[in-house]
Structure 1
Amino acid sequence: MTLTYIISGFAVGTLVGLTGVGGGSLMTPLLTLLFGVSPAVAVGTDLAFASITKATGTFTHRLRGTVEWDVVRLLCYGALPAALVATLGLKYFGGLNQEIGQIIRYSIAGSVLLTVVALLFKGKMLAWLNQHPEKQLQGRKLAAATIISGAVLGLLVTVSSIGAGAIGATLLVMLYPRMPAAHIAGTDIAYAVPLTAIAAIGHWWLGSINWELLGSLLLGSLPGITLGSMAAKAVPERILRGVLATTLTLVAAKLVL
């Protein structure tokens, strides 16, 4: 079983390094559906897994110059306070009931599919924006939208461990359509490090982290995300968009099914 965890960690880590997506969206369903881990422990363990894995990915993306730090800062302004509030809410009110959890999963799946559409039609979207520049947010409006997006991400990630990569990529594509795919991946990974770290500390406080499972996953994921992050800039933009779109479609299908 430990070898299976290591292989799973490597596969998810490689995808996260390449695309910025796949951590919670793939790992949490994998732990609950395939390995039979309880949902609360799966969420807590996955958040700890994501914070350490994505810290490694951020270092590699930084070396390759594929992180937009101004955007990372704005996202964190919204995400980090929201994560703290969500953790306190979980402590006070308890976990989410099944119905609300299902609504969150479907909402994320829908948003992920929107990302796929945006990626596949990025060229047409940019052409339309060039013809209608007034439709693209700029300046303070863009900064405010980024901070609000970060707050939504902070809430989602803390309660479900899903959304940091999938929803983050969606919002980056929508708000910053001219950002290259490798930079979307790097920026998406970088802002998620402090967010998932705060959420993971909250779940440690709640007692929902399996440390032995975490260790096995990290043995595979750390080399995986390093490899994926190094390849992200080398892979042609068109191929990387295809990999990202395929990964997101699988994530959405997994969330719905």
Structure 2
Amino acid sequence: MIFGLEWPLILELLLLGCFTGFLAGLLGIGGGMLMVPFMTLILSAHGVPAVLSVKMAIATSMATILFTSISSVRAHHRRGAVRWDLVRTLAPGIVAGGLVAGAGVFALLKGTTLALVFALFVGFSATQMLLNKKPHASRQIPGPGGRFAAGGVIGFVSGLVGAGGGFISVPFMTWCNVPMHNAVATSAALGFPIALANTVGYVVGGWSLPAILPGSVGYLWVPALAVIASASVLFAPLGAKTAHAMNVAQLKRLFAAMLYLLASYMLYKAFSG
């Protein structure tokens, strides 16, 4: 037993961390779209009701981004791809939106409602990936007020679905004439403030709850976070390296099909709960 977890559960979480980390590096997507459904399944198998399992899965998934974003942004920074000027001006809105989502709306919504929101988000993301939809650059980056508002939307929506925000921030920056490689790198840097604000919000919003599982704080399952993060940080670079030797376009189509299945499972949790 480690971190209060039995060995079979540790192995399940390690496999989940390896799998999500590798695919995140391979396809350049956040692991939350994969991690939340599987974490929900694991939590449900351990007797946590749907109204709480979805929330704990989203919170724990988001917290792993605190660790994976650091290694990712270091690699992008060495290549000079991060637009730190955009990070500094988008981050305040992201933190505000994340705190509102994590400490406020997230705690008020039912877990089954969040499962429905997540399913719709994953289904939309899978369709975008399948069709390879990309926004056309048609305007410039807005002023300080517009950046704060954009950051608020990114942080808020990310907090409801447990994802790093790249599904909004990359299209937004591309739409605003930021080159794709800069948009992806800057989105990776924004992952840390998104994860930090929302994780604090999940802990504060669920502070009054009794410990749902050993080691849980608010909606955050700390032992699972430690196991998953350690595995995903190790396997994300391996996935990024493998991407250069494979046909990623075909893999994305297969991954989109997997996302539809995961979205279907979350729809089942939404309506069965």
User: How far apart in 2 are the matches of 1:173 and 1:241?
Assistant: 20
Shift of 1:178: 4.2
Say whether the 8 Å CA contact 1:22–1:247 is kept in structure 2: no
Q: List alignment gaps of at least 5 residues for structure 1.
A: 130-135
Shift of 1:102: 4.6
1:140 aligns with 2:142: yes
Change (3 A) 1:255 1:166: farther
Change (3 A) 1:231 1:175: farther
User: How far apart in 1 are the matches of 2:198 and 2:121?
Assistant: 18
Shift of 1:56: 1.9
User: How far apart in 1 are the matches of 2:260 and 2:147?
Assistant: 23
User: How far apart in 2 are the matches of 1:61 and 1:167?
Assistant: 19
Say whether the 8 Å CA contact 1:19–1:240 is kept in structure 2: yes
CA shift digits 1:109-136 (9 cap, x unpaired) = 3541463266x365xx76xx6xxxxxx1
Change (3 A) 1:99 1:43: closer
Say whether the 8 Å CA contact 2:202–2:219 is kept in structure 1: yes
Shift of 1:137: 0.9
Change (3 A) 1:245 1:184: farther
Say whether the 8 Å CA contact 2:65–2:195 is kept in structure 1: yes
Matches within 5 A, 1:8-87: 8-34=16-42, 36=44, 38-87=53-102
User: How far apart in 2 are the matches of 1:254 and 1:174?
Assistant: 29
Which deviates further from its counterpart, 189-198 or 80-89?
80-89
How many residue pairs align between the two structures?
A: 238
1:97 aligns with 2:110: yes
Change (3 A) 1:20 1:167: farther
User: How far apart in 2 are the matches of 1:194 and 1:35?
Assistant: 27
Q: Which residue of structure 2 lines up, in the alignment, with residue 132 of structure 1?
A: none
Change (3 A) 1:22 1:246: farther
Matches within 5 A, 1:179-218: 179-180=180-181, 183-205=182-204, 206=206, 207-218=218-229
Say whether the 8 Å CA contact 2:127–2:256 is kept in structure 1: no
- Percent same amino acid at aligned positions? 24
Change (3 A) 1:113 1:148: farther
Question: What is the RMSD of the two structures over their aligned residues, measured on CA atoms?
Answer: 3.4
Shift of 1:249: 5.3
Shift of 1:31: 0.3
Matches within 5 A, 1:156-171: 156-162=157-163, 164-171=165-172
CA shift digits 1:82-129 (9 cap, x unpaired) = 1122234248xx3312564255224413541463266x365xx76xx6
Name whichever structure is richer in helix by fraction.
1
Change (3 A) 1:204 1:230: farther
Say whether the 8 Å CA contact 1:20–1:189 is kept in structure 2: no
User: How far apart in 2 are the matches of 1:87 and 1:103?
Assistant: 17
Q: List alignment gaps of at least 5 residues for structure 2.
A: 1-8, 207-217, 266-273
Name which structure has the greater RCO, CA cutoff 8 Å, separation 6+: 1
Change (3 A) 1:98 1:194: closer
CA shift digits 1:129-166 (9 cap, x unpaired) = 6xxxxxx112537x766543332221122233136243
CA shift digits 1:5-46 (9 cap, x unpaired) = 112212211222344423221111110025536222212221
TM-score, structure 2 as length reference: 0.70
